[in-house]
Amino acid sequence: MSDEPKVKIQNQMLPRFLGILLLLLAFTPLTAAQVTTPEPIDTLNHPWTVFLRRSIDETGLDQLIFVDGLTGAQVEVEAYGERYTAAGQAILYYDTSSRQVMLATPDGEVRPHPFILPTQETRRIDWLVSDDESRIAWTLTNSDASGQLVTITTIANSDGTNQQQALVDGPRNDGLRALPLAFSTDLTALYMDLHPDGLSNFMPIEQYAGVFALNLATGDVTPLPGEEQLGCLCGAGVGAGLFLRMSLSADQTGFDLRVYDLGADVNQVIPAPRLRNYTLAGDMLITDDGTRAVYALAQIANFGSPQQTTRTVFIFVDLQAMTQETLTEPITTFVHPVAWTEDNSTIIFTSPIRDGTWKINLTDRRLERIAEATYIGTLQPLNN
């Protein structure tokens, strides 16, 4: 048996967002003897960091790797899945073979999700876990015999209690479905998008058509500022009480960024950085404290063909100074920002098509690969 660990970490280190695992990997190399299945109690009382290896065989089988943050033990789970999400003490994903939502846990078990259940009419399921992991929202996009779409949005506590059907949108014949984006900071509202159905699979970066707030107590739907009329499929982000919305500048050399404070009902415009031929903007990621954000500007050639190429520049937004500037030189590695870490001085990136985890530090501004597998998330202990 090889002594190489299943998860290889460059220089045996990860950024601080991996918590206890950082110290373990920095000072104690993982060995094959540590690749064991722990006692069941460990799966509840230990933190677990989860990585993904895609298409490990010719059938497209994926491998989830659970790494015990206290012992370094690794547990592997195989799945045919997509949209792997950390949710409580499990990884939630959509099984493309059984067409249902599943849960994978550090004890190696894979089981159907107990309450996110499709119907015969369901053509897509989307979900959102609140930042504190106490609440979950999901949508069933159903299609009737004539092809009209109905989106049913439900919210619940993470354990399935207190379920509430929050919104039924449709039937629609315009190809739009409601998509959950974020919970408000006080968990009283759900921010959603009227999203073109089927387009996500072809969009290299995340963009939104019409963002609105759903009041979870009253069911009232209110467009966010500037969203009263559809028409712009543009980048946006919601978080820390802010709504950030991009729009093409008047001279078409970049994207102005409008910053809305949803609590104070005020807004400001940050002028665009001047970059020509970068026609797509999105993948907005806001820090938890609302002081910084990052987004992608993309230049795409031969879109939709096997020869498609992408050049990306990441833009750093200072939400205190109200400025935006280029963070990187153009890169061809196709990555998305997924987390801020190290006191919001470092951004973690993963790729939807290639295994690996990368980071950019705001000081040196270089894209550096830090793990060979794709970081999914960290499962916190039950007694945390």
Q: Which pTM was predicted?
A: 0.86
Cα–Cα distance between 168 and 219 in angstroms, integer? 10
Q: DSSP alpha helices (H): ranges in the chain?
A: 20-27, 40-45
Instruction: Pick the range with the lowest mean pLDDT from 29-38, 160-169, 318-327.
Output: 29-38
Contacts of 36 (CB under 8 A, 6+ apart): 73
207 touches 233 (CB < 8 A): yes
Phi, psi of 24 (to 5 degrees): -65, -50
Count of C-beta atoms within a 10 Å radius of residue 346: 19
DSSP annotation of 114 reads S
Residue 101 reports pLDDT greater than 90: yes
How high is the mean pLDDT of the chain?
86
| CB-based contacts of 354-357 (< 8 A; 24+ apart in sequence) | 355/52, 355/53, 355/54, 357/14, 357/51
Instruction: Kindly report the length of the chain.
Output: 384
pLDDT tens across 289-308, in order? 999 999 998 887 776 667 77
pLDDT category at 373 given cuts 50, 70, 90 is very high
Closest to 379 in 3D by CA, of 84, 100, 36, 114? 84
Contacts of 28 (CB under 8 A, 6+ apart): 72
19 touches 69 (CB < 8 A): yes
Question: Which has the higher per-residue pLDDT, 229 or 313?
Answer: 313
Phi, psi of 202 (to 5 degrees): -110, 0
Closest to 350 in 3D by CA, of 316, 375, 377? 375
pLDDT category at 144 given cuts 50, 70, 90 is confident
pLDDT category at 224 given cuts 50, 70, 90 is very high
